[in-house]
Amino acid sequence: MKPINQYIDHTLLKPTAAKNDIIKLCDEAKEYQFFSVCVNSCYVALAREQLKNSSVKICSVIGFPLGAMSTYSKVNEAKQALTDGADEIDMVLNIGLLKSKDFDGVWNDIEAVKTIMPNNVLKVILETCYLEELEIIKASELAIQSGADFIKTSTGFGTGGATINDIKLMKSVAKDCVKIKASGGIRDSETAMEYINIGVDRLGTSSGIAIVTGKQSNSNY
């Protein structure tokens, strides 16, 4: 198993996050050698500047946090984020289309983003707190078939975050085809290890420092 810090996408997605907060996030990521920082797309260029000459990757969220934007909007937001220096994209699945059983719409939405970034990692956020078990399974299948590299539980802005049951459902579909990212409510090393031990490859959290130092965090993400 790799060191726990290398599972962590060090995350700051609050609407109130200012430039100085992003700079601090990047400094922390370098200090603790997290895998990446995860930021809103407007801050990708700033993160790139702060992280130059470091091994820390940059992840940008797209269509965040609702997933209800047009496919055109998601594609163009992703294009700009990649141009600004993003290494990975975390896009939110269109939950309304999934619940409408417009599975082609969900597929096309994800595929359109993946098509513009064949050589970059795409994570698809299912927002499992809003989904029934069968919907989690179907969303996982659609994301995988549409070219996702990861399926991810949550935005951290819904009514709940990752759960062990949701991860097991996603894992039953993903098998070894794609990886899984757990996010939302992961605030301590015990919880982080629990997810890693059932097969999660990445953790989205703003509590990365608490996780690697064994301290308690009050963060919600």
Instruction: Evaluate if pTM is beyond 0.75.
Output: yes
Residues catalogued as catalytic: 90, 152, 181
Residue 208's pLDDT is what?
97
Sorted by where each starts, the structural domains of the chain and their CATH numbers stand as: 4-213 (3.20.20.70)
CB neighbourhood size of 172 (10 A): 11
Residue the block writes with tokens 């919907």: 135
Backbone phi, psi, residue 36, to 5°: -155, 170
Q: Which pair of tokens denotes residue 55?
A: 């091994």
Q: What share of the chain is helix, strand, coil (3-state, %, to 5)?
A: 45, 15, 35
Q: Which pair of tokens denotes residue 5?
A: 């810090």
pLDDT tens for the chain, 221 residues long, are 899 999 999 999 999 999 999 999 999 999 999 999 999 999 999 999 999 999 999 999 999 999 999 999 999 999 999 999 999 999 999 999 999 999 999 999 999 999 999 999 999 999 999 999 999 999 999 999 999 999 999 999 999 999 999 999 999 999 989 999 999 999 999 999 999 999 999 999 999 999 999 876 766 56
Residue the block writes with tokens 């797209």: 62
Instruction: Report the C-alpha gap between 117 and 73 in whole angstroms.
Output: 15
